[in-house]
Amino acid sequence: MLIAVFTTFAASRKEPLADTVERIHAAFLTAGFGEPTIRFTMSDPPGSAELSAVQAVMGTKRVSSIERVLKRWTQLERFARAAGTAARGGRGGATMRVLSNLTESGALEPVDFAILTEIARGVPKSFPCHRIALHFSAAGFSEGPPLPASPDPRTISMLARAGVDVFAGQPTSPGISVTDSWWVNGRQRSLGALRLVEADPSAKKLPAPPAQVAALFAACGKVRKTMQVPFASAPAAAQAPGFTAAAREARSAAPRGVAGTETGEAIRAVVRAYRARMSEFLERLPHDLPHHDASVAAASATLTGTGGAGPKKPALVDAFAPLGYDCRGESGTFTLQRQTPKNLTVKLQLDVGTWHSSVTAFMQVIGMVNGQGFKATLALPASRQAARGMVRGQELFGQFPIGGPERWRQIVENLAALVAELDRSFVPEIEAIAGPSPEWFRPETA
């Protein structure tokens, strides 16, 4: 079976983008892969007629990095185009100017690496682009069939559901990607790799990377995270360059994983049953916390800008380590994991204040059936009084305000009690249906 292995490396904004790009390029040559194929994309911020009118009234001057690049390297004009809803003939929406050597037909045109290096050297001062990405690939880097350079929306959606940071710069075709982009808190840098690996379900470990790949990875720096995503090979037409209409039709005929099987339906039935029973579980939580009250509002106002309720990790470790969960994360998000006796992964994801001082939590049971991955997900409300609403007939729970340190401790105790209950019932039921996963399967490791 084929496994897509995603590797995220530490990427510092302190290193100039051009230095990172040159380091990766040199690593391909040093490792013996030869001159890599490079796909690059650069974009201006999205805009619209309405935004342009507002900027004109306010006297705001908008800088186009694309125009600056084309003024200096006129030979790149053939790579410029518009993208977005309006560019495709739709009404309203935003459009942006893009520069890429990946043509709309899916073909990749070569570009002088020296030019790409000089462009990277100007980011972000001379070329304050919204986003720039360079993808390096070479024969022998990955196993399995070639993948289209521009994936279809279904593939992107599947990878995003699996937890792959495709929108933050993680590659969707084999190779190594370097991405630098704008965000509200400053420039963001990412460095990631994707390889397809032929795996033996009966083996204890995945095969070690070839020496060339290992040398290349060593040059990329410290590994921050790896992810394994079962890969369903599409019909040959779907692998053709350009991903034409025929290829998309072939892709739609490819295996759809566990979801379309009898086992998948049985797993979904268990998930639906436990979602319906969630109110029953919440009645047994140790703390009956209100969603909002005056004390929570006062604490939030007092703690704004001071780190919320203080350190979050110690309480999580104290509550969940006895249940067998490790804990990763330091501030806005935490991931807690354990393995079941049949090698399924139980994963808890907590957002504790990416935007506000509030908590959102989920439990996922992740495994493989006949070479295909599945993920059974339940929301974890922090209290029976957590705000909830109906979306398409399904009850959903919103963010739960954290407030002060004492309330955070009570929230964690509630979540731990709920997880302990689900570990005794929900998880074994899913495990009994799915059966064992390969011993080497680890959806995500740090």
**Residue 57 scores a pLDDT above 80:** no
Tokens standing for 218? 């060593």
pLDDT at residue 30 above 80?
yes
List beta partners, residue 326: 337
Given a cut of 90, whether residue 284 has pLDDT beyond it is yes
Nearest CA among 145, 141, 172, 130 for reference residue 33: 141
Q: What is the pLDDT of residue 152?
A: 74
Compute the average pLDDT of residues 75-90: 75
**pLDDT for residue 392:** 60
pTM: 0.82
Whether 291 and 170 map to the same domain: the answer is: no
Contact 243, 148 (CB under 8 A): yes
Q: Percent of the chain having pLDDT more than 90?
A: 65
From CA 382, how far away is CA 416, in angstroms rounded? 10
- So what's the pLDDT on residue 306? 40
Q: Please report the beta strands in 1-104, taking only residues with DSSP state E, as ranges in sequence order.
A: 2-9, 37-43, 80-84, 95-100
Residue 329 has pLDDT above 90, yes or no: no
Residue with tokens 């040159």: 22
**Model confidence at 397, in pLDDT bands (50, 70, 90)?**
confident
Pairing mode of beta strands 223-231, 37-43: unpaired
| Boundary (domain end) residue, out of 227, 254, 281 | 254
User: Is residue 228 located within the same domain as residue 146?
Assistant: yes
Q: Is the pLDDT of residue 45 over 80?
A: yes
Beta bridge partners of 333: 351
37-52 as b/e, with b when 16 or more CB fall inside 10 Å?
ebbbbbbbbbbbeeee
Whether 192 and 329 share a structural domain: no
**Among the three residues 203, 236, 254, which one is the final residue of a domain in this structure?**
254
The per-residue pLDDT for range 159-186, each reduced to its tens digit, is: 877 778 887 888 999 999 999 999 887 8
- The token pair at 54 is 């507002």
- pLDDT of 165: 82
Residue showing tokens 């304050």: 128
What is the 3-state secondary structure of 56-94?
HHHCCCCCCHHHHHHHHCHHHHHHEEEEECHHHCCCCCC
Residue 107: how many CB atoms within 10 A of its CB? 11
Burial label for 271, CB within 10 Å (0-12, 13-18, 19+), is middle
* DSSP of 273-317: HHHHTHHHHHTT-S----SS-HHHHHHHHHHTTTTTTS--HHHHH
Average pLDDT over residues 64-73: 96
| Degrees to nearest 5, angle at CA 372 with 366 and 376 | 30
Helical pair 17-31 and 211-220, crossing angle rounded to 10 deg:
160
* Pair 103, 177 in one domain: yes
**Predicted local confidence at residue 48, as pLDDT:** 47
pLDDT of residue 159: 80
Q: Which two tokens stand for residue 336?
A: 């807690």
Task: Give me the mean pLDDT over the 139-147 stretch.
Answer: 90
- Reported as half-sphere exposure (CB side, CA atoms, 13 A), residue 365 has a value of 29
What DSSP state is assigned to residue 430?
Answer: H
pLDDT of residue 332: 85
d(CA 414, CA 420): 10
Q: Kindly state the average pLDDT of the residues 22-29.
A: 98
Predicted local confidence at residue 247, as pLDDT: 46
pLDDT category at 85 given cuts 50, 70, 90 is low
Q: Are residues 332 and 220 in the same domain?
A: no
Band (pLDDT 50/70/90 cuts) for residue 394 is: low
- Determine the 3-state secondary structure of 394 from DSSP: strand
Residues paired with 277 in a beta bridge:
none
Verify that 74 and 217 share a domain, yes or no. Answer: yes
Q: Quick one: 347 and 422 in the same domain?
A: yes
Q: Are residues 176 and 201 in the same domain?
A: yes
Half-sphere exposure of 420 (CA within 13 A, CB side): 14
Average model confidence (pLDDT) for the chain? 85
Shared domain for 166 and 270, answered yes or no, is no
Helices H, strands E: what count in the chain? 13, 17
User: Residue 150 — pLDDT band, cuts 50, 70, 90?
Assistant: confident
Q: What would the mean pLDDT of 373-383 be, rounded to a whole number? A: 94
Q: Is the pLDDT of residue 302 over 80?
A: no
How many domains does the chain divide into? 2
Q: Residue 103 pLDDT > 90, yes or no? A: no
**Same domain, yes or no: 244 and 271:** no
Domain boundary among 215, 232, 254: 254
Residue 306 CA to its chain's centroid (Å): 28
Residues 230 and 316 in one domain: no
Mean pLDDT across the stretch 189-203?
Answer: 95
Among the ranges given (143-157, 195-209, 347-361, 412-426), the one the predictor scored with the smallest mean pLDDT = 143-157
Runs of H (alpha helix) within 306-396: 313-320
User: Which residues, including other chains, have CB under 8 Å from residue 89's CB and lie 6 or more apart?
Assistant: none
DSSP state of 70: H
Contact criterion met (CB below 8 Å) for 96 and 44: yes
Tell me the residue type at 445: T
Q: Are residues 334 and 393 in the same domain?
A: yes
In single-letter form, the type of residue at position 149 comes to A
Q: Which domain holds residue 177?
A: 2-254
Q: What is the mean pLDDT of residues 343-368?
A: 91
What's the pLDDT tens digit per position in 202-215? 999 999 999 999 99
